[in-house]
Structure 1
Amino acid sequence: MSSDAPVGARPPAGKTFFGHPRALSTLFLTEMWERFSFYGMRAILVLYLTAAVADGGLDLAESSANAVYGTYNAMVYLMALPGGWVADRLIGARRSVLWGGVVIAAGHYVMAIPTGWSVFAGMALIVLGTGLLKPNISTMVGDLYERDSPRRDAGFSIFYMGINLGAFIAPLITGFLGEKVDWHLGFGAAAVGMTFGVLQYVLGRRNLGDAGARPADPLLGADRRRALTRIGVASVVVLAVLLVLLVAGWFTVDTVVNLLTVVTVLVTVGYFARILTDREISGTERSRMKAYVWLFLFAASFWLIYDQAGSVLNIFAADQTDRSVGGFTFPASWLQSVNPILIIIGAPLAAALWLKLGHRVSTPTKFAVGLVLNGLSFVLMAAAAQAAVGGDLVSPLWLVAVYAIQVAGELSLSPVGLSATTKLAPVKYASQMLGLWFLATAVGDAIGGQVARLADTWSQPMYFLTFGLASVVLGLAAVMFTRQIRQLMAGIH
């Protein structure tokens, strides 16, 4: 999924968007509405799954709901790999984004149907659609600029503002509708948001020029037929496995979640094994990939904790925080808007800090800082959980403080990791490494969903303190091995 533009893939001249190609506004709004739908649904998902049937929910155990949430997030990021391949080899980024948006919207509309099965069917569609849209819309942003254009980074900065703007607004709307009116109405609001995104994408297609219009490396003739046959066979195998589970009576939420977790880990192991055993990559490239394995494990450990904001911490917000302000009890899901607004505020500050520090702070050290901060956020959560022992409601400012620490950790690790991914990538796999970076989130979320089951059996202070300290220890260990990792990076800072 290369973000390098093919020759001639320039948008038409004319009006600009904050000094950038007009097409950026089309992609900005598409991404904003896609993130609105994604984070809007995600903000109320676990709350709906655990709500009593009398309150319109599914009354799942918190352990199962947390595992579903983690696995859902994992599948979204895992599908970025085949989604990028489909665009590069079959239909191009532009059509991938369009069809991805349509499938996402369909998934949210299915979730809006007031039945239990609709939620899981809708999530499956959203996973497929996001896999097509998410990696390829970023590719199209890159297509708007020359490879060495000084405006390229600024264009991506504006684009990522759309991500966090959608993520900030979404819980405020879907959270109110879902928690105060009807859960499925909240899911419906996410569907409407994605519909807006698709409509404006279609209407703005004239601004896109040739960006993403054709596959970067298209399969033709027999190769294309062979690939489509394999896709068809794989689809039949997946359906057959699901049918066997259904007939055998094993088709339960927990069985499917466990199976998908195993698949996520196996895909990741297979991907790394393929690269590290490839005889066409040089010794230096292999050394850098060994360093990247460590960074990948650190990142997966980070997301394992960080992405519990929408599951374990969201349930804590609903059950154990005092959310009354002037006689109005605001929805627990509103606290999911804290993270994106803090990122909007903190991202420019973090960028300025790393620019000032330059190479004095290495990539592994920045990862270590992210892990330590992430761990400290859970240590603080342990204190909040201890204050809530006995049924006392605690101030939501505890969660605001936790999210602030986590965002500081994210800004130390996530953008740095994305940059390191591009720098450490073997030349042969340069276009696939972004998908590999997404896999770190997938693995972290998949395993995190399983780990979060313990929150339903351990005492809350013990749960948060155990995993918080584990992350701090891992971060300190990363500091100790920084020199060895830097040596493997072979000149990359």
Structure 2
Amino acid sequence: MSTTTTTNQSDFFNAESSVLGHPAGLFVMFFTEMWERFSYYGMRALLVLFLTSPLTGINPGWEWTTERALGLYGTYTMGVYLTPVLGGLIADRLLGYRWAVLLGALVMTLGHASMALETETFLYIGLGCLMVGNGLFKPNMTSMISNLYKAHPEKKDGAYSLFYMGVNAGAFLGILLCGYIGEKVSYSWGFGLAGIFMFLGMMQFYFTQKIFGDVGLSPKETKQLKREEVVEEATPKKIIIDRLIVVFIFSIFTIFFWAAFEQAGGSMTIFADRYTQRVLTGNAGMIYKIVDAILTIAPVAIITYVLFALFGKTFKRFTVGNIVLATSFTAIWALVIWRVNREFSADTTEVAATWFGILNSLFIIALAPLFSKWWESKYNLPGAIKFGLGLVLLGLGFGFLAYGSMSIVPGDAEVVRVSMVWLILAYLFHTMGELCISPVGLSYVSKLVPGAWIGMMFGVYYLFIAMGNKIAGSMGGMIEEITSKYSLTTFFLIFTAVPIGLGVVITALHPLVKRLMHGVK
């Protein structure tokens, strides 16, 4: 338990410098993370489709087998969560969180540029850069939030939920624009657009970084700027070990959550592409166009409102960084208007397979504020029960896909295509499950781990997520084998039963987890 705070800690929570009840610095990180997730999810939405698309056609791919494509997808998504272990350690001991974030953003920009060249050599170079860059970026952004709220731990769950809204705003825009452009226009343009916004996010963070005060500086800079000693009461070694056991328990269940959840970029994308009715005619087509336009414009308008709230507090002090951010959003609005106009002008209405990926982000943008308020209210749930609820909701989401795919019979000459409703319901329940686990898991790591280990332990937590992502790719690659031997329903029932069962198990562990936390809530 810290008895003092960093130099600028008290200033962060003044009404004059806060935005929507939180420090303005949180929203600088919100937008920086948003552009990083824009690039990550924009590329992720295209990768499997690009690799498995035919070699010929208007927008050719590489015609890889599903198993090979999902194998690479699993390896890549595993890699982006493996490297944060080293990235967190480098930041803790050498660079500091800020410079690690900036260097990671630069390396990822180069990675996206490489992938836009569409050769196998540059594909692997690009994916390698994205793994390394993400390792430097991801754990250290979350570590900065932990330090920003050091004196206000009671606000961490809400802060991480709001931050997670930024994460998913980026995912929404990335899938919406990079996915659409890549699938409907050119894969190269889709991959390249991801890199452009990663670069803009890096520049915005660089020119606004002084808003964080002492937070995130390198160990050497922190020592030079420190005006008072930070006195930290020694926590007894048994207590520390018990709390680390809780982190380990949460991490184990996190593996299984992500192994199922990350089917979104693999088997669920294939389900959308091959088995979902995406060609709409007549009134259905016009209704989709109107709904799509609303779903496209409304979230961007909400995020723009947050942007102006940030401008009102920071524009005079950080003009260049805010101009970069304003330029980014001007480009986003231009692309959004172009996309909506293009859809309304089209003679036929075909929903892009990547479109369903925006639903997760859209639901998070809508629901994250509600979950944030829930976690800050007297009805807040204990950590183990939040994890249990999240796993059960995830399993129920796959239950909709299992039920919806019952009419699909392996070996039929004509492929049966099912209603989009099943995918929409699956993404809704998956999103609610994610909000119970992902931001909450980050918050608990920050509260249970000693301050000096924060960066490294976030990296370790992401290591478990990496395992889940690799399993996701391996399991997703079995979709054709399981479907041909049994049925598509059987494939999705596996992802229904396992999460629900594990949700019951971790809920039953609540008394043990509560005791091991030693008062951490």
Give the TM-score category using the shorter length.
Answer: 0.7 to 0.9
Mapping 1:183-202, distance limit 5 Å: 183-202=187-206
Report what 1:287 is aligned to. Answer: 242
- RMSD (Å) for aligned C-alpha atoms: 3.2
Residue matched to 2:122: 118
Q: 1:11 to 1:73 in 2, by over 3 A?
A: farther
Instruction: Give the match for residue 274 of structure 2.
Output: 319
Partners of 1:151 and 1:46 in 2: how far apart? 39
Conserved 8 A contact 2:161-2:440? no
3-state SS, counterpart of residue 477 of structure 2: helix
Is structure 2 residue 262 aligned with structure 1 residue 307?
Answer: yes
Aligned to 1:439: 463
- Separation in structure 2 between the aligned mates of residue 180 and residue 72 of structure 1, nearest angstrom: 24
Higher mean C-alpha deviation, range 135-144 or range 460-469: 135-144
Residue 114 of structure 1 and its aligned partner are, at CA, apart by 2.6
1:371 to 391, 405, 411: 391
Alignment partners' CA distance in 1, 2:159 and 2:517: 29
Letter in 1 for 2:40: F
Picking from 433, 437, 457, the partner of 1:413 is 437
Which one of the candidate residues 26, 29, 36 is aligned to 1:27?
29
Q: How does 1:5-44 map to 2 (within 5 A)?
A: 6-7=6-7, 23-44=25-46
Closer, same or farther in 2 for the Cα pair 1:120/1:479, shift >3 Å? same
The residue type equivalent to 2:427 in the other structure is Y
The one of 30, 47, 50 equivalent to 2:49 is: 47
Higher mean displacement: 477-486 or 25-34? 477-486
Provide the residue aligned with 1:250 in structure 2.
Answer: none
2-side partners of 1:431 and 1:333: how far apart? Answer: 34
Q: Is residue 132 of structure 1 aligned with residue 136 of structure 2?
A: yes
Aligned equivalents of 2:247 and 2:22: distance in 1? 34
Q: Distance in 2 between matches of 1:8 and 1:15?
A: 12
After TM superposition, the structure 1 = structure 2 runs for residues 59-458 of structure 1, keeping only pairs within 5 Å, are 59-142=63-146, 147-148=151-152, 158-205=162-209, 207-215=211-219, 282-325=237-280, 326=285, 327-356=348-377, 358=379, 361-389=381-409, 390=412, 391-425=415-449, 429-458=453-482
Instruction: Provide Cα deviations, 1:176-217, integer angstroms capped at 9, x if missing partner.
Output: 211112212110111111122123233434545544332379
Which secondary structure state, in structure 1, belongs to the residue aligned with residue 467 of structure 2? helix
The aligned amino acid for 1:47 is: L
Equivalent pair of 1:376/1:405 in contact (CA under 8 Å)? yes
Whether contact under 8 Å (2:246, 2:517) holds in the other structure is yes
Secondary structure of the residue that 1:421 maps to in structure 2? helix
With over 3 angstroms needed to count, the CA separation of the structure-2 counterparts of 1:282 and 1:8, relative to structure 1, is same
Deviation digits for residues 146-176 of structure 1 (CA, Å, limit 9, x no counterpart): 6238877766555433222111111111112
Q: 1:254-286, CA deviations, whole angstroms, 9 ceiling, x for partnerless residues?
A: xxxxxxxxxxxxxxxxxxxxxxxxxx9733333
Q: Is the CA contact 1:10–1:144 (under 8 Å) kept in the aligned structure 2?
A: no
- Separation in 1 of the partners of 2:395 and 2:103? 39
Q: Determine the C-alpha separation between the residues in 2 that align with 1:149 and 1:354.
A: 13
Mapped partners of 2:18, 2:374: distance in 1: 30
Name which of 446, 451, 463 aligns with 2:491.
463
Q: 1:151 & 1:288 partners in 2: Cα distance?
A: 20
Question: Which amino acid in 1 is paired with 2:367?
Answer: G
Q: In terms of mean alpha carbon deviation, does 16-25 or 131-140 score higher?
A: 16-25
1:11–1:208 CA contact under 8 A, matched in 2: no
Q: Determine helix, strand or coil for the equivalent of 2:219.
A: coil
* Superposition TM-score, scaled by structure 2 size: 0.74
Amino acid at match of 1:44: L
Change in Cα spacing, 1:218 to 1:442, as seen in structure 2 (3 Å) is farther
Structure 1: unaligned runs, 5 residues or longer? 220-279
TM-score normalised by structure 1 residue count? 0.78
Report the equivalent of 1:477: 505
Q: Percent identity between the aligned chains?
A: 35
C-alpha distance in 2, partners of 1:92/1:411?
29
After superposition, the Cα gap between the structure-2 partners of 1:122 and 1:305, relative to the gap in structure 1 and judged at 3 Å, is same
- Quote how far apart the aligned CAs of 1:454 are: 1.8
Q: Is the 8 A contact 2:143 2:455 kept in 1?
A: no
> Unaligned stretches of 5+ in structure 2?
224-234, 286-347
- Distance change >3 Å, CA 392–CA 152, structure 1 → 2: closer
Aligned residue number for residue 231 of structure 1: none
- Could you tell me how far 1:324 is from its partner in structure 2? 2.3
**How far 1:7 moved relative to its partner?**
3.5
Aligned to 1:222: none
The Cα of 1:25 is off from its aligned counterpart by 4.9
The 2-side partners of 1:154 and 1:470 are apart by 29
Give the secondary structure class of the aligned counterpart of 1:185.
Answer: helix
User: By how many angstroms is 1:363 displaced?
Assistant: 2.3
Compute the displacement of 1:297 (Å): 1.5
Please say if residues 281 and 426 of structure 1, whose CA atoms lie closer than 8 Å, have aligned partners that are also in contact: no
Aligned length: 430
1:21–1:357 distance in 2 versus 1, CA, 3 Å: closer
In 1: Cα distance, 2:422 partner to 2:262 partner: 17
Summarize the Cα distance change of 1:492–1:88 in structure 2 as closer, same or farther, 3 Å threshold.
closer
Asked if the contact 1:373–1:409 (Cα under 8 Å) also holds between the matched residues in 2, the reply is yes
Query: Do the aligned partners of residues 111 and 368 (structure 1) sit closer, same or farther apart at CA in structure 2, a change above 3 Å counting?
Result: same
Deviation at 1:404, TM superposition (A): 0.7
Specify the code of the residue in structure 2 equivalent to 1:185. Answer: W
Question: More deviation in 210-219 or 125-134?
Answer: 210-219
Structure-2 change in CA distance of 1:284 and 1:167 (3 Å)? same
Which range moved further: 20-29 or 119-128?
20-29
